[in-house]
Chains A and B, each alone.
Chain A
Amino acid sequence: MRKLLSYLARCKGRMFAGFVLKIAGSVAELFLPLIMAHMIDDVVPTRSVLALSLWSAGMFLVAVIAWAGNVVANRFASKVARDTTERLRADLFSKTLGLSARQTDEATLPSLVSRLSTDTYNVHTMLGMVQRMGVRAPILLIGGVALTFTVDPVLALVLLVTVPFLALVSAFVAKKGVGLYTRLQESMDKMVRKVRDDHTGIRVIKALSKTDRESRSFAAVNDEIVRNETRASVITGVTNPVMTAVLNIGMTAVIFIGAYRVAADRVQVGDLLAFTSFFTVMLNAVIAVGRIFVEISRGSASARRIAAVLDLPPELLPEEGEPDESGAYIRFDGVTFSYRGAPALENISFSIKKGESLGIIGATGSGKSTLVSLLLRFYDPDCGAVYIGGKDVRSYGKEELSKKFGVVFQNDFLMAASVRENIDFERGLADEEVERAAEYARAEKFIAAHEGFGGMLTARGSNFSGGQKQRLLIARALAASPEILVLDDSSSALDYKTDALLRKTLFENLPDTTVVLIAQRISSVRFADHILVLDGGKMVGFGTDEELMRSCDEYRRIYRSQHGEGGEEDA
């Protein structure tokens, strides 16, 4: 909530103006019953038609003021809500993009997505409503009570007694509501996750005829939402009837005690009329308060979730680092890294020169991808250092570091955009660069067959085959002529022939590019200048194909299994 207020603070001028106008408009409305009481009690006895007409003209004028004040104030309110939400959402998105990989893992993607969508929406609704009705309703309430004092203090006191009750109910509901709505939002997260999961895995679900089971497990999540939402709504639903009842009873008391006041000649009957009118105005305000409370509870629960992300400390900022004097282009120096407490890499040290190629091979889970994550500085190592071009990666600016890379990850990301946009990837590359990259990646043929570079990809590129997707990704990686090209298992969906041709093109056309190649097949890495063999997070071999064939058991075993020359486990 504090976070939200700091965002609102930037609109304080307009908010204040709107506030003042709203007060003016609402107060004007409150004067209507007063004028009326005056007309009945004081003007009517004079039997002056002119005076009556003038007073009614005055009333009309006051009504116009109320209208104008409210209209302009509402416009301001909408504007403030719009601007604040826009900024909040933009900052949240920007913050989300800037989170470290560790932070993203912890928050989980679906939750981040729903914070960006549902939660910002809730805040938007709340901001508009609170400014429009949240200001008006208390003014009508408090102003109503205040003005009644001018009519008769004793009766006003009776009405005043109701205010603490109203406040108590509000406070109770607000307090309960926020917690309940937070829980509701959490169960909504679960639902979002479920939908995402099943959207991705639909083929497996259908293949295993699990639609019934999925439907049932969704029902469980659905039930949880229903439970939480019912609880939250029932609590907030208390507001309206209770507040209305309190106010109505207060009004009854006013009339009852008013009878004694009139008998004692302290008030006139017209004053009672004013009281009943104030009372209706206040009643309408109270009904509005009931609705506002639902929005506030929901909205502040959402604001909290948003603030939780915005308040995450920035990680992976550039820091001072020792320079590396070894003259190597990429160097890992005693790097150890654990992922959520589980050791992933242990004491990795190696170096390669500019323009050389590095192949990384090893069993599943041996830490190949983790090594690349450290090179890209998605994570910082627990100890040791990673150097690129003689500088610790921690001392690079973000942009400076990422400019060096062209990367293809496992199951990498394609957007629902044109082929060209997917290759360019927002880097503003020239058409020739994009086309040349496609050619290098041997993608030009199927691109041409697929409506050319302007042809659209569907979400996740599902209108292209696995191999085609990989070639588009490779084209993306090549397009900006990177200094370092990282290919993480990016030829797994390519057949041997395509893979081999691709490799040839890379080595022939990009001699200055340092290539880091993670592969499953020995044939994809054996041409590399250096091959790093990983086993269970440890480095068990580093050298050329020839050297490793001589010295590295693990490498030989992989070779044998691949080329079918009597691998020992081959039954």
Chain B
Amino acid sequence: MPKIEYLPPAPKGAPVSGQNRRAVAARLVRYYMLYKWQVAAAFLLMLGSNLFALLGPWLSGEAIDAIGAEGGVQFALVGKYCLLMAFFYLFSAGFSYILSVLMIRLSQRIVRKMRQDVFDKILALPVGDLDRIAAGDLINRISYDISTVNASLSNDVLQAATGIITIVGAFVGMVAISPALLGVFSVTIPVSVVITVVRSKSMRPLFRKRSAKLAELNGFSEEMLSGLNTIRAYGREEEIYGKFCEKNTESADAYYRADYIGSLIGPSVNFVNNFGTVLISTAGAFFYLYGMISVGNISSFLLYARRFSGPVNEFANILGEIQSALAAAERVFRLLDRPSEQADAPGAKELKDVRGDVRFDHVRFGYDEGEDIIKDLSFRAEAGQTIAIVGPTGAGKTTLVNLMMRFYDPRGGRILLDGEDIRNYTRKSLRAAFTMVLQDTWLFEGTVFENIAYGREGASPAEVRRVAEEAHISDFIEGLPKGYGTYLTDGGALSKGQKQLMTIARAMLSPAKLLILDEATSNVDTRTELLIRDAMGRLMRGKTCFVIAHRLTTVRNADLILVVKDGDIVERGRHEELLARKGFYSEIYSAQFE
């Protein structure tokens, strides 16, 4: 089975691995820098919290020495040290809580921005590009990947920074207490550092694989669930399940490998720490034996040594987490880096006061380079005319719409609207000049009212009711339990035809001068279609209309019929003329009654 690529390829010339990781990290830092005051506040809190906490071991050592002092316990001193300890520990905890709240808010802001960026990117991608990305893949990036980044932003970074302060502080503490013991202890430091570095290096590809496999699995489930009815109808559950299991196992294995290697780090570094404890205890005991160190100092030193090792140990975990966060961030950024729909040409104009005169001038186009669907197309639609485009399936009719709305740009020739190349208008104003009813009806999660009112910003309930009536869907809507307030969800109770009527009602709200009907009426049964045609007739008045339909009854009244075959216009004219010509048009027309 050929491999389906869920990950869109990295943009050309993208830097690789190490360099890439740094670039990804730098970009994450840039997100942080959007909130530099919070970052500064967090840093101060962290410093305070950790320094206070670091005073603890020293104070407790002093207290122990005051207890073990020659000539009995010095209660006053012990009490003083204990009070100070309690004070510093409480403050440290308070700071650390405020800090964590601050960090949560900070990371949530960043993550919100990231999600919004991703979503806006989805909206900004060229339509053709978006067609090629599975919805599951997008969902994966915006949910799972960003969550991974978030966990890392709020936890790991904080822990890493805390770790660094603790390490430095503990080191200073150890030097102050006993440089000799530190000399003994330091034997273990390089060992733990090496372990951490080596392990994290070997883990990066494992984490990346883990993310990729998971994305593949999630993409697969999303796709298959979208075809649930078909799978049921053919009873293919077992087979699809089998395929799922393959991917599931791959994904579980990839996770396991990363997880297992990652989980080795903890105990290993812990071992080094324990080994350090052994060394300090042994050396400490000898020093004590020869009166070179007090018990309180050994205690303080051990506490500092533990503090010192704690973060080193954590670093291993954190590095693991950060690895997976970087891998996830990389996938998010890769999506963000995909080129958006081309920007409007410099000096592009707002399209205003549209007349609706459209001209195709030697247009050549193909979705893939070298495969032209439209070879050389020229025609003119004067303002207010109805142009019917007919022809066999796959002849390139939908493509005309894609070109007019600039979902794609022609590879050759130009399209003029009111005498001006459409590339000279802003996309937004150009598209606003069109209203359309597409072959794929599209309704979103929301009420019936919202779905219809989508056609124009700020449409009033009265207007919505009016267009619903015109589209002959108002009876149906009012018969719903909650009428216009009925909430439409995935796979809701609407039939395809009803959905179609709703989108037609939606299109009726738009004041646009150009109308595109892409096989729209063909999905409504003929009786309803008749009613719609009546409403459409009124709607079409004063608009330039492009109708892509196979209903010859619909195209009969067209001012111009373009018969498209193999990407070229083979015939053009009015219905009667074309019939009289006994050419391709009359051939497909008679097929209706064959």
Contact = CB atoms under 8 A, between A and B. Distances in A.
A and B: bona fide binding partners: yes
A253 B455 CA distance: 70
20 contacts: A36-B277, A71-B264, A89-B248, A109-B225, A113-B218, A132-B266, A201-B442, A206-B123, A211-B124, A215-B116, A234-B101, A237-B100, A252-B82, A269-B295, A272-B299, A287-B310, A364-B501, A427-B236, A492-B519, A571-B534
Contacts of A195: 119, 122, 135, 138-139, 142
Max chain A CB contacts within 10 Å: which of B233, B289, B302, B500?
A: B233
Interface stretch (A153-161, A351-359, A401-409): A401-409
A270 B94 CA distance: 32
A412 B491 contact: no
B218 A467 contact: no
B138 A40 contact: no
A252 B85 contact: yes
Interface string A368-407: 1100000010100000000000000000001101110101
Nearest to A272: B64
Given A340-B493, A492-B522, A63 B271 contact: yes
Max chain B CB contacts within 10 Å: which of A25, A273, A364?
A: A364
Contacts of B495: 364-365, 368-369
B22 interface: no
A232 to B, nearest CB: 9
A78 B230 contact: no
Given A195-B135, A206-B431, A365-B495, A564 B553 contact: yes
A226 interface: yes
Interface string A200-232: 111111111111011100110011011001100
Contact of B67 (A238, A262, A414): A262
Interface in A505-563: 520-523, 554, 557-558, 561-563
A458 B131 contact: yes
Interface stretch (B34-42, B342-350, B379-387, B391-399): B391-399
B525 A363 contact: yes
A226 B111 contact: yes
Contacts of B431: 206-209
Q: Determine the interface band of chain B, counting residues with CB < 8 A from chain A.
A: 35 or more
A79 B234 CA distance: 36
A248 interface: yes
Nearest to B439: A466
Contact of A210 (B115, B237, B259, B454): B454
Contact of B230 (A59, A188, A413, A521): A413
A60 B90 CA distance: 36
Contacts of A413: 226-227, 229-231
B472 to A, nearest CB: 9
B154 to A, nearest CB: 7
B229 A378 contact: yes
B498 A520 contact: no
A409 B135 CA distance: 21
B130 A226 contact: no
Given A458-B132, A459-B132, A203 B392 contact: no
Given A237-B101, A248-B56, A364-B497, A418 B270 contact: no
B592 to A, nearest CB: 4
B281 A405 contact: no
Nearest to A82: B256
Given A208-B454, A339-B493, A493 B82 contact: no
Contact of B100 (A121, A241, A454, A462): A241
Interface string B12-32: 000000000000000000000
B333 interface: no
A272 B67 contact: yes
Contacts of A341: 481
Interface stretch (B70-78, B174-182, B355-363, B414-422): B70-78
Contacts of A162: none
Contacts of A427: 234, 236, 239
A241 B393 contact: no
B242 to A, nearest CB: 8
Nearest to A501: B591
B588 interface: yes
Contact of A59 (B263, B278, B432): B278
Given A74-B264, A571-B534, 16 more contacts: A43-B285, A79-B260, A94-B241, A194-B119, A198-B119, A203-B442, A223-B112, A252-B60, A252-B85, A363-B525, A378-B229, A398-B235, A411-B440, A496-B552, A497-B591, A561-B530
A170 interface: no
A444 interface: no
A361 interface: yes
Contacts, number: 554
Interface string B46-83: 00000000001100100110111000110100110110
B582 interface: no
Nearest to A522: B526
A203 B438 contact: yes
B463 interface: no
Interface stretch (A98-106, A318-326, A328-336): A98-106
A13 interface: no
A96 B534 CA distance: 44
Contact of A363 (B253, B268, B528, B556): B528
Max chain B CB contacts within 10 Å: which of A113, A260, A458, A522?
A: A113
Contacts of B428: 209
B228 A104 contact: yes
A97 interface: yes
B278 A32 contact: yes
B496 A489 contact: yes
A157 B284 CA distance: 28
Nearest to B109: A226
B302 A276 contact: yes
B64 to A, nearest CB: 5
A273 B298 contact: yes
A558 B526 contact: yes
Contacts of B286: 49, 52
A47 B123 CA distance: 78
Contact of B288 (A44, A104, A407, A523): A44
A81 B493 CA distance: 40
A172 interface: no
A425 interface: yes
Contacts of A401: 235
A367 to B, nearest CB: 9
Given A36-B281, A121-B214, A409 B233 contact: yes
A258 B85 CA distance: 15
Contacts of A207: 405, 431, 434-436, 438
Given A206-B405, A208-B454, A218-B116, A426 B282 contact: no
Contacts of A98: 237
A283 B491 CA distance: 53
